[in-house]
A = this chain, B = another copy of it.
Amino acid sequence: MQELIERIRKDGKIKPGNVLKVDSFLNHQIDPKLAYAMAQEIKRLYADETVNKVLTIEASGIGLAVLTGYLFECPVVFAKKSKSSNVSDDLYTAKVHSYTHGTDHTVIVSKSYLNPEDRVLIVDDFLANGAALEGLRSIVEQSGALVVGAAIAVEKAFQPGGARLRAEGMRIESLAKIASMSDDSIVFCEE
């Protein structure tokens, strides 16, 4: 998506360790007009699919997910991060490893909000190692619902998550796909 790529070139900041900071328009401060355009692009990419639920994970995916759900006219569920290894009969849970922080956390979704008849689009801001997406897929599968696919704002295609999950059959559409990064430049994949 050209508009997002240009914004990353303009306002993204590269930090040591292949960290891309998009805090000024996506993660900490959000540009709602850009986010709406991104949701429209997700709607266009998945126009051939029936989606009746959008699933994301708190916190930074929520804005994009709510706009996406607005366009699909369906509810949006956000998985919560739990400090405890919260196991309860009422919850679907998955363990997600954070490569950035080197920690594990548990994500939870109430069983009330995912049903076997759901066709779920997973929305998130970043895809790198794929841990969050894997956790969300596991939660959808536990519910018996179908993962229609995932829509990601920024994919770091030089990290293994996208390739692995696509090889496992998951449809993933990324609005900006980064082929490589160095300390002072970003190369995007061919569109």
Interfacial chain B residues near A80, Cβ < 8 Å? 28, 59
Contact assessment for B32 and A76 in the assembled complex, using a CB-CB cutoff below 8 Å:
yes
Which A111-169 residues sit within 8 Å CB-CB of chain B?
112-113
Q: Is there a chain B Cβ closer than 8 Å to A23's Cβ? A: yes
A32 near B77: Cβ-Cβ < 8 Å:
no
Number of interface residues of A (CB under 8 A): 31
> Which residues of A in the span 47-85 have a Cβ within 8 Å of any Cβ on B?
58-59, 62-63, 65-67, 69-70, 73-78, 80
Bound CA span A32–B43, Å: 15
A/B interface sample: 14 pairs, CB < 8 A = A23-B113, A24-B113, A25-B75, A28-B110, A28-B113, A29-B113, A30-B77, A30-B78, A36-B70, A59-B62, A59-B80, A63-B65, A67-B67, A67-B70
Contact A32 B70, beta carbon cutoff 8 Å? yes
Distance between A85 CB and nearest chain B CB, rounded to angstroms: 17
Number of copies: 2
Partner of A66, one of B28, B63, B110, B113: B63
Assuming A28-B80, A33-B73, what are 5 further A-B pairs, CB within 8 angstroms?
A23-B113, A31-B75, A32-B69, A32-B75, A59-B62
Residue of B24, B62, B69 near A62 (CB, 8 A) is: B62
> Could you say which residues of chain B place their CB within 8 Å of the CB of A63?
62-63, 65-66, 76
Also in contact, A70 and B33, with CB within 8 A (given A59-B80, A62-B62, A76-B63)? yes
Measured in the bound complex, the distance between the Cα atoms of B62 and A67 in whole Å is 11
- Taken together as a complex, chains A and B put the C-alpha atoms of A32 and B63 apart, in Å, by 11
Report A1-52 residues with CB < 8 Å from chain B CB.
23-25, 28-33, 35-36
